[in-house]
């Protein structure tokens, strides 16, 4: 089987490519700029851009399966034009290229953020509607529109399925991701304060395994929520403290105060040349629905997310190996609850 992966140098892509290679799958990767995550791997590299359909047709020629992960991720309220170009037009181009090249199956990676969170007292599952309000963050809207593009492709005869993971955490996080940066800041005692909120976090390896099983088994048009465990930021910080012996931030900011301060903190971070972590968008995510159901994936794919503490330990081990931690881990002395 010949497989193409877009977004292969991102967090999920780096893990997916390795899993495919471990399974003996001939893998071609579409590369736009950064190659760190796939250096030294036995893959066929094709230069391209999801915004250029001709480059996609060149990359997809002869492929049986395309995993589409390439996307722009943003915690800003003001980046709709570039998000639309990558996450909507880019998806439309991928769909069109798959149809023209006769690709057998498209596995499209969307996001939990594409789905409405209300009502908050009811679990989120695959039946939830896609967001469509302009009051929603641009990233959320762009991922919802991307899913709609895939549905239009299915109506034209494309065999496609959709994967909606929650907040990704795990190994091979080279850039690092937004959550990877939070984890590093905690492990290196560089996060000045916490926010009284949390999210459903899922191990990148579980998402990759679930997506690969879906590619093999799922009927056309099926959508799977791949969630993990809801954990608050204070509980995460306490866990990291036990693993690293680095003290957790002493101040836990109430959500109302954090929302008021977010524009000022974000402006200060940008002036300092840092990527803002606490923005109005990220704070909105930290207030989202706590109950994200992966029942369908469990029943149909045998999906079972690993314990969260295992994910955090493995991720910090990987960051340590990459030279990203200020202090070596002493895992033998850890007794996590």
Instruction: Render each residue's pLDDT in the chain as its tens digit; 337 residues.
Output: 899 999 999 999 999 999 999 999 999 999 987 888 999 999 999 999 999 999 999 999 999 999 999 999 988 888 899 999 999 999 999 999 999 999 999 999 999 999 999 999 999 999 999 999 888 999 999 999 999 999 999 999 999 999 999 999 999 999 999 899 999 999 999 998 899 999 999 999 999 999 999 999 999 999 999 999 999 999 999 999 999 999 999 988 887 777 766 655 555 456 556 666 778 888 888 889 999 999 999 999 999 999 999 999 999 999 999 999 998 887 665 655 4
Asked if 318 and 171 touch (Cβ cutoff 8 Å), the reply is yes
Asked if 149 and 162 touch (Cβ cutoff 8 Å), the reply is no
Rounded Cα gap, residues 284 and 80, in angstroms: 17
| pLDDT at residue number 265 | 57
| pLDDT at residue number 255 | 79
| pLDDT at residue number 75 | 82
**Paired residues of 29 in beta bridges:** 5, 45
Asked if 50 and 110 touch (Cβ cutoff 8 Å), the reply is no
| pLDDT at residue number 282 | 84
Domains belonging to the chain, first-starting first, are 2-175+200-229+291-301 (3.40.50.720), 232-289+306-333 (no CATH)
**Could you give the 3-state DSSP secondary structure of residue 44?**
strand
| pLDDT at residue number 40 | 94
Cα dihedral 33→34→37→41 (10° resolution): 50
Listed in sequence order, the residues at least 6 apart from 248 whose beta carbon sits closer than 8 Å to its beta carbon are 186, 194, 234, 237, 238, 240, 241
């Amino acid at each position: 089987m010949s497989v193409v992966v877009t977004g292969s140098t991102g967090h999920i892509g780096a893990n997916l490519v390795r899993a495919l290679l471990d399974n003996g799958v001939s893998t071609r990767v579409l590369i736009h700029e950064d190659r760190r995550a796939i250096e030294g791997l036995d893959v066929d590299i094709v230069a391209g851009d999801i915004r250029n359909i001709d480059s996609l047709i060149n990359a997809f020629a002869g492929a049986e399966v395309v995993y589409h992960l390439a996307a722009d991720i943003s915690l800003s309220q003001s980046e709709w034009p570039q998000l639309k170009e990558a996450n909507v037009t880019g998806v439309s181009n991928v769909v069109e290229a798959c149809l023209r090249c006769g690709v057998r199956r498209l596995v499209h990676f969307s996001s939990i953020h594409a789905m409405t969170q209300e009502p908050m007292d009811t679990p989120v599952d695959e039946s939830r509607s896609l967001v469509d309000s302009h009051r929603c963050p641009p990233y959320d809207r762009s991922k919802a529109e991307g899913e709609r593009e895939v549905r239009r492709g299915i109506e034209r005869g494309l065999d496609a399925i959709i994967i909606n993971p929650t907040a990704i955490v795990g190994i091979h996080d080279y850039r690092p991701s937004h959550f990877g940066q939070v984890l590093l800041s905690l492990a290196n005692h560089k996060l000045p304060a916490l926010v009284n909120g949390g999210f459903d976090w899922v191990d990148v390896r579980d998402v990759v395994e679930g997506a690969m099983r879906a590619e093999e088994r799922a009927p056309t048009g099926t959508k799977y929520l791949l969630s993990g465990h809801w954990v608050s930021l204070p509980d995460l910080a306490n866990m990291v403290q036990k693993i690293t012996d680095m003290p957790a931030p002493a101040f836990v900011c109430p959500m109302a105060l954090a929302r008021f301060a977010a524009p000022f903190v974000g402006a200060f971070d940008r002036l300092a040349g840092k990527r803002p972590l606490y923005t109005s968008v990220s704070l909105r995510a930290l207030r989202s629905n706590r109950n994200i159901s992966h029942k369908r994936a469990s029943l149909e794919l045998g999906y079972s997310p690993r314990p969260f503490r295992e994910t955090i330990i493995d991720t910090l081990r990987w960051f340590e190996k990459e030279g990203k931690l200020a202090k070596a881990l002493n895992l033998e002395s850890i007794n996590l609850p």
